[in-house]
Amino acid sequence: MLATLGAVAIVVAGVVVALGGGAVLCSAREPVLVSVAAAADVAPAAMEAAGRFNETKTAVGGRCVLVQVTEHPPATVLRTLIGDRAGVLRERPDGWIADSSAWIRLARQQGASTLPAGESVVATSPLVFATRQSLAGRFSVGGTEMNWRMVFPSTVRGRLTPTEDEPDIVRVPDPSLAGAGIATVAAARDVVGTGPEADKALTAFVRWAQAGSAPDYHSLLDAVDDRTFWQRPVVIVPEQSVHRHNLRGSDDPLVALHPREGTITLDYPYVVTATDPAVAEASAAFAGWLEGPQAQEIVRRAGFRSGDG
C-alpha cells in the first residue's frame, strides 16, 4: 500500500526529504541566515518579498535560506562596506538594495572593491516634480511646465523672484542621503553645461539645494501639504513615493508632473555583499528570486515599476 503513494516524507534529525517524485527539501534546524539592508522607500516591498521567498524553502547546501530585510539609509550602508568607523551598521549586511546604482558605484570607488559585478535591478521609479493637485492645475493654466532649470534660484533664471504661476520653491532630497538627490545634481549639471557661468550656476544650485533639502522623501512630501510657509511648493521625488503618500487620502492629493526635458529613472539594485561563500550563494538566490514574477508583482503593487522598466 505504501508503495502506491506518490511521495513519502521522511524526517530524520530535522532534515525533511521528499521521496517518490518529490525534490529534496531543506533543513530548517541550521538555516543560512541572510541579512539584507534596504533603502527606506523600497524596504516595505522587500520585506514582503522576503517573507514570500522564505516560504519557498530555497536550499543552499541542503540548508534552508532565511532572509531578513532591515531598513537602512544607503549612506550608512556605504560607510559600513568601505570600512569607516563612524556612522556605520553594527554588522556588515549580506545583501544591499540601494535607491540608486550610484551608491554601488560610489562604494566601489571608495574602497569596496570586492563587491561582485552584475547586480540585479529589483525595481525602478522615475523622478517626478510633485505638488498638490490644485497647484498643478494653477501651473497648467498659467502655462508653466516643470523643467530642470527650476532647481536653480530664480536669480539664475534671470529674475529676482518667481512669477505667481511658478513654484516659489523646488525642494530636492539631500544628495548625501538619497539617490534622488544624486540624480538631481546630475540633471542640474546637464542643464547648465560647462564653463565659468555654468560653474557659478551650479554653485548657486548646491547652496539652494542645501538650504531646502530634506532627509527623506516622506519629509519632502509632508512639507508640500504644509501651507504655513511656502505657497506654491514643488518637490523632486521618485514617482513611487507620491503613490505611497496618496494612500493616506486627501482632499487635495499630490500629483506627479514630468519635466519637459525628460527625466531620470532611479533603479533599485540588489548587490551581494556577503563575504562567507555559503551566505553569498544564499544572498544571490534571493536576488534572483526578486527578479521573478511573484516579487515583481509585490514591487508593482507598492507603486514601483518593474525592474526592467
Residues 128, 215, single domain; the answer is yes
> What integer is the mean pLDDT of 91-112?
95
Domain membership of residue 16 (yes or no) is: no
Across the range 44-58, mean pLDDT stands at 97
Residue 223 pLDDT exceeds 70: yes
Of 75, 82, 73, residue with least CA distance to 110 = 82
Percent of the chain with pLDDT over 90: 56
Spatial separation of the C-alpha atoms in residues 203 and 227, rounded to whole Å: 29
Tell me the per-residue pLDDT of 274-290, one tens digit each, with 9 for 90 and over: 999 999 999 999 999 99
Same domain flag for 160 and 247: yes
Residue 233, amino acid: P
Cα of 87 vs its chain's centroid, Å: 20
Q: How confident is the model at residue 18 (pLDDT cuts 50, 70, 90)?
A: very low
69 plus 175 within the same structural domain: no
* Mean pLDDT, residues 208-212 taken together: 69
In which band, very low, low, confident or very high, does the pLDDT at 50 lie, cut at 50, 70 and 90? Answer: very high
Count structural domains, the chain. 2
pLDDT at 20 > cutoff 50: no
Residue ending a domain, among 265, 280, 298, is: 265
User: What nine digits make up the cell of 135?
Assistant: 497647484
Residue 8 has pLDDT above 50, yes or no: no
Q: Which of 86-90, 198-202, 299-303 has the highest mean pLDDT?
A: 299-303
Residues 176 and 191 in one domain: yes
Judge if 50 and 152 occupy the same domain: no
- 155 with 241: CB under 8 angstroms? no
Report the candidate in 267, 268, 273, 269 with the shortest Cα–Cα distance to residue 34.
273
Contacts of 17 (CB under 8 A, 6+ apart): 9, 10, 24, 25
Sign of the Cα torsion 255, 260, 262, 264 reads negative
Residue 144 and residue 256 share a domain: yes
Query: Is 289 a member of any domain?
Result: yes
Q: Give pLDDT, residue 216.
A: 80
Q: pLDDT-derived band of residue 200, with 50, 70 and 90 as boundaries?
A: confident
- The pLDDT assigned to 270 comes to 98
Among 116-120, 129-133, 141-145, 214-218, top mean pLDDT goes to: 129-133
Is a pLDDT exceeding 90 seen at residue 23?
Answer: no
- Does any domain span residue 152? yes
Q: How far apart are CA 171 and CA 4, in angstroms?
A: 69
Structure confidence at residue 149 (pLDDT): 86
Whether the per-residue pLDDT at 129 is higher than 80: the answer is: yes
Angle in degrees, CA 214, 216, 222, rounded to 5 = 75
Both 152 and 103 in a single domain? Answer: no
* CATH at residue 161: 3.40.190.10
- Residue 186's pLDDT is 87
Best CA proximity match to 126, nearest among 296, 266, 288, 236: 266
Query: Is 155 within 8 Å of 208 (Cβ atoms)?
Result: no
**48 assigned to some structural domain:** yes
In a domain, residue 24? The reply is no
Same structural domain, 153 and 221:
yes
Domain that holds residue 247: 124-265
Mean pLDDT value of segment 252-260: 95
Assigned domain for 271 exists: yes
Question: Is residue 17 domain-resident?
Answer: no
pTM: 0.85
pLDDT digits (tens, 9 = 90+) for 229-239: 788 999 999 99
**Within this chain, do residues 111 and 179 fall inside the same structural domain, yes or no?**
no
Cβ atoms within 10 Å, residue 68: 14
Residue 182, domain member (yes or no): yes
Is the predicted pLDDT of residue 6 greater than 70, yes or no?
Answer: no
Query: Is 195 in the same domain as 224?
Result: yes
Q: Give the pLDDT of residue 11.
A: 34
Half-sphere exposure of 64 (CA within 13 A, CB side): 18
Is-contact 127 242, C-beta < 8 A?
A: no
Q: Are residues 219 and 109 in the same domain?
A: no
Residues 118 and 132 in one domain: no
